[in-house]
Every structure is written in structure tokens, then in C-alpha cells.
Chains A and B, each alone.
Chain A
Amino acid sequence: DAKTTQPNSMESNEEEPVHLPCNHSTISGTDYIHWYRQLPSQGPEYVIHGLTSNVNNRMASLAIAEDRKSSTLILHRATLRDAAVYYCILRESGTYKYIFGTGTRLKVLA
């Protein structure tokens, strides 16, 4: 199973952009990169996913390195409600299995 590496924690000021990095050096060509976040006392929720190209949605942007060995989740303007643990996950094409890593705990300062 491919694995991901993320910093344990990060801090950001409110209203500023946040870049959450993820390394996945053993990624294979068919692995999708998913990001989920877990707010306190809640289940994980989907943020964004991609395969090769950068992706944007209303919650965030996903920047994927050309060699796909790393990716960055970008929150354009962090709010206090974005304080959560952010998980970078690889999913093999054709499988249902997510392998969650330890995630990055994001703290947003008012």
C-alpha cells in the first residue's frame, strides 16, 4: 500500500492562505490523491481529489507535482471553521480502500 507523509501540525492566521503539503514518493501511476478533513468530534469529510492535473473546487485547490510524488492542498482564505485534521490519502485505481495517514492538525489563529 502506498503511503503518505504529512507534517503533524501547522498554524495559520485567519483570512490568510494555507498550504498543506503531502509527500507520496511511492505513488503509482494509477493512484488517486484524495484529501479529507476531520473537524473536532465529527467524521471525516471530503475536500478534493485529483490524479495528475491541478484541481479546484469551492472548498480548496489541489496542486500536484509534475512527478506526482508530492501534492499541496491550498485553502485560499483560512477561517476558524477550517481548524481540523487534514488527511492526504492515496487510493489505488479500481480499489475501494483508503489508507489514512496521521494527518496534519491545522490550527487557525484569530
Chain B
Amino acid sequence: DTAVSQTPKYLVTQMGNDKSIKCEQNLGHDTMYWYKQDSKKFLKIMFSYNNKELIINETVPNRFSPKSPDKAHLNLHINSLELGDSAVYFCASSPSLQTQYFGPGTRLLVL
């Protein structure tokens, strides 16, 4: 059973499109995160939700909007995609302030 899963695994799209990435965790954790890993492999946190409430909101363009319908899901919607949004996006979850468990990543390519 996959602990933290993301869909899709790969996403290729045109500039200007709107797309969503979904994340689900079956670990019963109350905190979920989105990270972005750029082409230089630098991993940076974007958002975090604890019990469906936004607790971390880094300096991210407001074209990015996270949504947490319940504790087990954290989706990321991106409007008006730009070339610079091409990256690998990782979802993670943790039981409160403890160890984070990462998903396999979604590789986004904007053409």
C-alpha cells in the first residue's frame, strides 16, 4: 500500500493552461505539505496544512492554490502555467511535528 500517493506522475502542458495535482495519504497524519524541486534539485517548501488549516504559506505566486478537502488529501491547483513552473512537485505528510513522509513526485513540464 502506497503511504503518500500523487497523481499524475507526469504532466506535460502548454503555457497558460490551468492544471491540478492531487495528493493522498493513508497514514492518518494530520499535516500535509507541498514542496517544489527545481532543475538544480533545490527543494523548497510551498504550503502546509494541519487539520485542513493552512499553516505555512511561503512566498509563492498566487497562481498556486492549495486545497485540503479533508485530512487525507491536499491538492495543488496552478493557474496560467508559466515555463518557470516546470519542476518536480512533492507532497508530504507527517503526524504533527514529526517525521515527514514524501510522495513519489509529480514531474511537471510546461511547454
Q: Which residues of A contact B (CB under 8 A)?
A: 36, 38, 41-46, 49, 85, 87, 91, 94-100, 102-103
B102 lies within 8 A of A97 (CB): no
- Chain A residues in 8 Å Cβ range of B50: 96
Task: Assess whether B45 is interfacial by the CB under 8 Å rule.
Answer: yes
Chain B neighbourhood of A42, CB < 8 A? 104-105
Question: Which residue from B41, B56, B101 sits with its C-beta under 8 Å from A46?
Answer: B101
Number of interface residues of B (CB under 8 A): 23
Give B contacts to A, CB under 8 Å. Answer: 4, 31, 33, 41-45, 48, 50, 55-56, 90, 92, 94, 97, 99-105
A91 to B57, CA, bound (A): 16
Majority SS at the chain A contact face: loop
Which residues in A have their C-beta under 8 angstroms from that of B103?
43
CB contact between A98 and one of B45, B55, B104 (< 8 Å): that residue: B45
- The 8 Å CB contact of A96, one of B31, B43, B90, B105, is B31
